[in-house]
Amino acid sequence: MSNIRVNITELQQILDITPSEHNLMLVGNHGIGKSEILTEYYKAKGMPVIALFLGQMSDPGDLIGLPHKDEATGKTDFMPPYWFPTDGKPIVLFLDELNRARPEILQTIMDLALNRKLAGRKLPEGSRIIAAVNEGDQYQLTDLDPALVSRFNILTFSPTPQEWLLWARKVGVDHRVTDFIQEDSIWLDKTPDSREGADTGLDKTPDRRAWKRVSDIISGCQNLTPAHTKAISSMVGAKAASAFLASVSAHKILSGRDILYNFEKSRKTLEGYQLHELSVVNDGV
């Protein structure tokens, strides 16, 4: 696709100036944090983000609710689904995996995107509709109707590695992960020597979500075991795991024992440590 490419900062600026009645579509790979970034952005504005994974829906009833008989009129009505706002307050409806949805689900989205209605029930004034789609031969995708596509402003979402690092440090991702990506950011989203379109769907490659998972299992573990090696490989692939572990080994933080027994020998290494590394050393002592 040749759509306009935006990073996180640019996306937030566009959200600020785009009227709520405009629908947005974010194009990008999996695992780059689309839903997390939108949730954080709108949470600060007091708006809830309701994420619907359209690729998991098998029937329009999953989206519009179940039919029932209105005893007062004798006509069929639809009970609102669990997520539909009944308090009149605006929401952000995040339609994830739009181009993985079944054709019958996409037909329901057509009315929603144009008229802001589901089964005759209108979204509260000020609500936003934002969709996310994947692109690439490695995905099993549904072709989108041009009439549906025309109802969205389309942006290719591509957060920079620097933006991810800022976020990662903010939420406490293990410093060994952020140090590794800081040194060589090519590993953040792919294996450097991978060929375009070579992914079979079963070959594990790194992405931003996976690096957060790596942090989850190594956080608080000073010495990584063979079990850690295999677990990390299962998340980011063998090549990325090997490069990451080599980086960790090259930058291994001194233990409290090393310092107490060989302080003079350790002094020069300590002088090159950053604050977060000194904090780890202090805990070890």
**Is 243 a residue whose pLDDT tops 60?**
yes
Structure tokens at 223: 């010495």
Tokens of 72: 């007062």
- Which range has the top average pLDDT, 141-155, 159-173, 270-284? 159-173
Percentage of the chain exceeding pLDDT 70: 87
* Number of residues in the chain: 285
Write down the pLDDT at residue 216.
95
User: Per residue in 116-165, pLDDT tens?
Assistant: 888 788 899 999 999 998 775 555 566 788 888 899 999 998 889 999 99
Phi, psi of 167, rounded to the nearest 5 degrees: -65, -45
Q: Which ranges constitute the DSSP H helices of the chain?
A: 8-17, 34-43, 61-64, 103-115, 146-149, 161-171, 175-183, 208-218, 226-236, 238-250, 256-261, 263-271, 275-284
Residues 111-120: b if buried by 16+ CB within 10 A, e if exposed: ebbeebebbe
Mean of pLDDT values over 90-96: 93
pLDDT (0 to 100) of residue 142: 66
Q: What is the pLDDT of residues 36-87, one digit of tens each?
A: 888 889 999 999 999 988 888 877 777 777 777 777 887 877 788 888 888 8
